[in-house]
Amino acid sequence: MSLTPEAAGVVAKMREAAVSFTDLGLAEARQFYIDTLAQSGGEPVDMASVVDQDIALDGRTIGARRYRPRALSAGAAPTLVYFHGGGWVLGDLDSHDRVCRQLAERAACQVVAVDYRLAPEHCLPASSDDAIAAYGYLVQHAAAFEIDVQRMAVGGDSAGGHLSAVVALAARDAGWPLSLQVLVYPATDLRESAGQYPSKGRNAHFPPLTAELMAWFGERSVDANTDPLDWRVSPVLAETLEGTADALVVTAGADVLMDEGVLYAARLADDDVAVDHAHYPGVIHGFIEMPAWLEASNHLLDRITAALRQHLAIT
């Protein structure tokens, strides 16, 4: 796989770095992830308001952060519920703060970023259970979060794309309103046999998500109680995707997860879900978080913006 010139420059920069996630302790890796995305994400876009609110679930509380841009009118608003990436091990509301600000500003919609329990403290499907319960909570408590429940989307990148696919399935089954699912290079198949996808070998050495880091995530995100055949763990194994929300599926050509995203987009189409598959050849995993480094990031943010404006009826 040949990289775009910009992506090749970013890869060279990453390879020259003296630090790797796999060389760090868990707390250090989590902070390094936040610091790295702060560099690649550029200056934070100013918002009219940024409000942290708790989501009270059964026996636990998780955090959420609401972003409202200046172009958004007061009151109940079209809303994207966003789940961060990080291999179910890294990431939080701060790591993806810049992405959420960008999406809110460009789409003139509210973004509600939702945190979730991380592994190895809480292995899969704990994060999936949090994502499903949190989305249901937001539907039920829409007024407290200024959400227009008839104009809701869910989205996320990597592990967050996985969680968004899971939420879309759960929303269909529960009858919750959902207009769009935005799956940015999602992980959709956690079976051992998933290692046989050609992109896992072909793109194994392209940072940031190398085969080595994939193994590091795998060792921490699942345990003996994780069933890889469970649709909350491997959404591509759901009996049917029919009836889920319209989808925008994003894949990157130099990404180990490329084939999983391509397969999921195809499965959505086969099950009569309206799907827009946006493929970026020669671009690496994680590029939604790199608008300061890659023009493809800005193109992707605009592509997501267009989908949000269309499906959430934002004028």
- Residues identified as active-site: 158, 255, 285
Q: Which residues contact 9 (CB under 8 A, 6 or more apart)?
A: 293
97 contacts 105 by C-beta, under 8 angstroms: no
Token digits of residue 155: 């989205």
Residue type, 300: L
- Spatial distance between the Cα atoms of 189 and 261, rounded to a whole number of angstroms: 9
SS3 154: strand
Q: Using the 8-state DSSP alphabet, how is residue 91 labeled? A: -
SS3 240: coil
- Spatial distance between the Cα atoms of 126 and 226, rounded to a whole number of angstroms: 9
Q: Using the 8-state DSSP alphabet, how is residue 237 labeled? A: G
- Spatial distance between the Cα atoms of 277 and 192, rounded to a whole number of angstroms: 26
SS3 148: strand
- Spatial distance between the Cα atoms of 27 and 44, rounded to a whole number of angstroms: 24
Query: 308 has which bridge partners?
Result: none
Q: Is 241 exposed, middle or buried (0-12, 13-18, 19+ CB in 10 A)?
A: buried
How many contiguous H segments (helices) and E segments (strands) does the chain have? Answer: 9, 8
Token digits of residue 156: 């996320």
Residue in the structure block whose two tokens are 């925008």 = 248
Q: Within a 10 A sphere around the Cβ of 176, how many other Cβ atoms? A: 20
Q: Is 257 exposed, middle or buried (0-12, 13-18, 19+ CB in 10 A)?
A: buried
Q: Using the 8-state DSSP alphabet, how is residue 191 labeled? A: S
